[in-house]
Chain A
Amino acid sequence: MATAARSLHLQGPTPSKPSNPSHHRLPVPSHLRPQRRRLAASSSDLTSFPESPPATNGVHVSWAAASSVAAAAAAAAIDVDAATEAELRENGFRSTRRTKLVCTVGPATCGAAEIEALAVGGMNVARVNMCHGDREWHRGVIRAVRRLNDEKGFAVAVMMDTEGSEIHMGDLGGAPSAKAEDGEVWTFSVRSSDTSLPDRIIHVNYDGFAEDVKAGDELFVDGGMARFEVIEKLGPDVKCCCTDPGLLLPRANLTIWRDGSVVRERNAMLPTISSKDWIDIDFGIAEGVDFIAVSFVKSAEVINHLKSYISARSRGSDIGVIAKIESIDALKNLEEIIRASDGIMVARGDLGAQIPLEQVPSIQKRIVRMCRQLNKPVIVASQLLESMIEYPTPTRAEVADVSEAVRQRADALMLSGESAMGRYPDKALSVLRSVSLRIERWWREEKRHEALELQDVSSSFSDKISEQICNSAAKMANNLGVDAVFVYTKDGYMASLLSRCRPDCPIFAFTSSMSVRRRLNLQWGLIPFRLSESDDMENNLNRTFSLLKVRGMVQSGDLVIALSDMLQSIQVMNVP
């Protein structure tokens, strides 16, 4: 396989396969795979894989090799992430990274080569932040990621992060930043202005701003990167004196503090999803992103609303909605928000601007735990490696922080500015990767099985069975020291239940849906494969083994546990 370092598509002869009725459960909107449709115009169904020209990165495996066991299999195609495959082959099952990595793509990383470098470096999810850049730019990024997935076989999911409508500053007339010095007087104005404003005048997006503040209030920019004291109000203009110098970035978050706490007046009434956000969401649906992250979520209602909007807009779409926990209101309604969402992001930056900073670590811990309990993936975000925006090496505090998030067994860690505009995006990613691997190895060496009692999450009886099966399988996997758990899943639910148990070994999740596969890429310990499955479990297994063996990803004798959501059973077996 030396020539296949980048190869991801493995295909046998692909006879046209009758469409499997069960796939209708999860039709993938056609816009998710524009490339594919073009390439595989003749394919009648989602599970067959396009022929790619032999000269490119596709690798053709002779029918004889692939079919020795699985001769009966209809389509012998399997896709796995290139980076994971290399890791698996080099280091074996046990050492694959369990903690997933989200990278924000920005000016420093928006080229195809840079995005590929991130994917090779371990990026599982690419995030685009709608606070910055226009839609054309984001379209370019999203398509570049898609192209990378199609051409080089990665399964990088795309997350679109909405801007939200908390109070924030304008865009500084295009300047990358402005510096406020101690004692300077700046004006914060709600006057709308199309022209660029003179120095030391900052536009504020929220019309009630001038009414809500009082002289003597404190104004925190980005959670305290700079602070101002309100001296006086003159109609729509608020004059403030800088009390803590610092850098002002475009669209920085503003919070008003009075007597040691955040002022929450009418701005609490701002809609969570602004009109700009709705347009961005339409854009995200049209571009077929995998996740939409919603800023400043205050209640479950907005999540439910957005989810029904998405399903009305894109029939049967499975865009995951991620709630960002970054406000006091979100903490009040935490559990219902988690239940309503498909995932959670602990957005520590703004959270630390709204509550006392020293509470953030324990809140993070609590949110991560609650998400585990409720079986929702959780991302720890903001300022993980802030110093690496400028320097090639992290501070020791940052390394400790990352190690703590890994120890808490969060599903994913996120880079923001570090990868979007930093000088060392690849190095920052590699720090996340090596710290994750190191801590995960340490668990195994120390045999730190986690004794977290998981509460029941499933509601239907069938789901309850799946949940029990997964709990037992994870326990068996730990006790028997198996090499991997294989789970065959249509909608990903069973894979996610397994991931929730955080077993010692990696979880190979096989699904026939490309979009399910990408979404599973956010979850702890899951190595998602795309595989056109049949309903016959024996058949699936044999085919999987032979396909993986050919690629050197499993060996005869490896011990695996296999589960399937079609056939609710646990099988323990050696790879033949």
Chain B
Amino acid sequence: MAAAAEIGGFTAAALRPAAHPAPAAAAAAPPQPRRAVAAQSLRTTATETLTADLAGMTNGAVHAQMNSEATSEITSQAVIFRRKTKIVCTIGPSTNTREMIWKLAETGMNVARLNMSHGDHQSHQKVIDLVKEYNAQNTDGNVIAIMLDTKGPEVRSGDVPEPIMLKEGQEFNFTIKRGVSTEDTVSVNYDDFINDVEVGDILLVDGGMMSLAVKSKTADTVKCEVVDGGELKSRRHLNVRGKSATLPSITEKDWEDIKFGVENGVDFYAVSFVKDAKVIHELKDYLKGANADIHVIPKIESADSIPNLQSIIAASDGAMVARGDLGAELPIEDVPLLQAEIVQTCRSMEKPVIVATNMLESMIDHPTPTRAEVSDIAIAVREGADAIMLSGETAHGKYPLKAVKVMHTVALRTESSLYNPTTSPSLVASAQGLQNEDFSPSQLSKMFGSHATMMANTLRTPIIVFTQTGSMAVLLSHYRPSSTLFAFTNEERVKQRLALYQGVIPIHMQFSDDAEETFSRAISSLLKAQYVKKGDYVTLVQSGVTSIWREESTHHIQVRKVQV
């Protein structure tokens, strides 16, 4: 099968009848023997019982299949194309068992997200323990990081004994009095609601599933007219179009949850409804005080956060584009542009960025995504996001594994067309120049990062980096090399964290005092895990602000042939 033809992005080589030797494919894609990519079709596995057939231990790597006509020399140099864009899966009732977490990990999950809006500490504890158990068993690169997502100051409607049908044009009221639930009035859990809302505002229920126009208000009640009706159930999420609630980003419950996260040593916090950098500093100070090494990812989802985007991201360890509330507080048509801006901002600051919400919404109920959803994943990958996220799809959907598989396949496919050297390598940054003869370690690291990436891209070799703090791996990931980046670290926490970064396969290893010995141990562990094979070339990078094995003043890039 002419696998090379798939790179052209066009000809469905796998579907071509054998009788046709793919002339169109040749036209679409000039021969690219070494970059043969065999992205597996979404169709090949139709059942939910996905197991290790997906090269489970390499986290969904797809090994290149070579055109049978290719020479044997080329065959021995087959490039392995692995998905670079990481997948965050929200764990919920559909997936909180041992079996499902294992299957998610084998299908492509890189980060397990715990949503503190649902469940209790006991249920989350169980998931954390399972993920840790998985990580302890899989030490060769399939690392699952844990992200704890705070609930934040969500404005929600109160409990209703049974769903209320709202019809277009009818009057309906929200009151700040507690416990009210009548035919035409329901409570809101937030007292300043009455002050935040003005006549003429549009209230959105669940991000726009229903909407109401504010007609008038009294001391404790907001009177509205229904614009888009539907069934109002208990505790629905409310937004005011164009406004953010004047609430602290971290509530008392959130502090409890954060403490829980510290106790369990989670890897990331995702902080809901961040509006400015102040709250990030506050949380970081707290973590410092608690001696907890946990990274903070603000969720960009409120209208107020947009003017402060630069300062928020600068203060944080990344960002999440939480498109649900963003599209409710701001015009929905602004979301694609904001997404691009947030991704760009993070990338320019060398921080990881996650695109989230509604990515495969239809797969909560259906086994196949809509074409729009497939396109959406491709867009996020092309923009260069580090990770894409599943929420309800894996938390309570009917087809969690299929959703992950779709993400994996679409991301892999899109990446393979992006890194095709015949197309413009938009993701690959140009080499870093030396500014103002600044030979500071950080400048030199940048130069080495970018040049090592160029070199690895030219030679089409994977990169191997050794890192104690993770910073050199992060820097290399920033330059988006076209092959895999193997990051060896002797820090368990660093290994966990690197799971979120684009293109990085983090591996924990004790470093010995002898550099040469460490290199050969690293390479043999890659051989053992079948990441590389004998005769392959790899690019080794020794650089970074803190030196390992080398003199402070030297940096190295070297290319090696894998020996057994």
Contacts and interface: CB of A to CB of B under 8 A. Distances in A.
Contact of B335 (A391, A396, A442): A396
Given A246-B366, A246-B367, A400 B336 contact: yes
Interface string B22-55: 0010000000000000010111101100000000
Contact of A260 (B14, B327, B375): B14
Interface in A386-406: 386-387, 391-404
B505 to A, nearest CB: 22
B361 A243 contact: no
Interface string B356-382: 011111100011111111111111100
Given A357-B42, A438-B331, A439-B336, A391 B369 contact: no
A184 to B, nearest CB: 15
B162 interface: no
Nearest to B206: A393
B374 A439 contact: no
A260 B336 contact: no
Interface stretch (A89-97, A233-241, A361-369, A563-571): A361-369
Interface in B297-349: 323-324, 327, 331-337, 339
A392 B211 contact: yes
Contacts of B406: 357-358
A479 B377 CA distance: 35
A361 B414 contact: yes
B10 interface: yes
A349 B362 CA distance: 14
Nearest to B336: A403
Contacts of B47: 243
Interface stretch (A135-143, A200-208, A221-229, A456-464): A221-229
Interface of A is mostly: helix
A387 B362 contact: yes
Contacts of B323: 396
Contacts of A225: 366, 368
Given A260-B41, A260-B44, A435-B333, A396 B371 contact: no
Nearest to B398: A245
B41 A438 contact: no
Interface in A140-174: none
B384 to A, nearest CB: 15
Interface in A97-127: none
A224 B327 contact: no
Q: How large is the interface on A (under 10, 10 to 19, 20 to 34, 35 or more residues)?
A: 35 or more
B15 A392 contact: no
Interface stretch (A38-46, A377-385, A499-507): A377-385
A352 B42 CA distance: 11
A401 B12 contact: no
Contacts of B12: 328, 331, 355-356, 359
24 contacts: A227-B367, A262-B15, A328-B16, A331-B12, A332-B11, A352-B371, A355-B12, A357-B371, A358-B406, A358-B414, A359-B10, A359-B413, A383-B370, A391-B208, A392-B208, A393-B332, A397-B358, A397-B359, A397-B372, A398-B373, A401-B375, A434-B333, A435-B333, A438-B337
Interface of A: 218, 223-225, 227, 243-244, 246, 257, 260-262, 264, 328, 331-332, 348-349, 352, 354-364, 366, 382-387, 391-404, 424, 427, 431, 434-435, 437-439, 442
Interface of B: 9-12, 14-17, 24, 39, 41-44, 46-47, 204, 207-211, 228, 323-324, 327, 331-337, 339, 357-362, 366-380, 406, 409-410, 412-414, 417
Given A261-B14, A366-B10, A396-B332, 13 more contacts: A244-B367, A356-B43, A359-B10, A362-B10, A362-B413, A387-B362, A392-B210, A397-B360, A399-B335, A400-B336, A400-B376, A403-B336, A403-B337
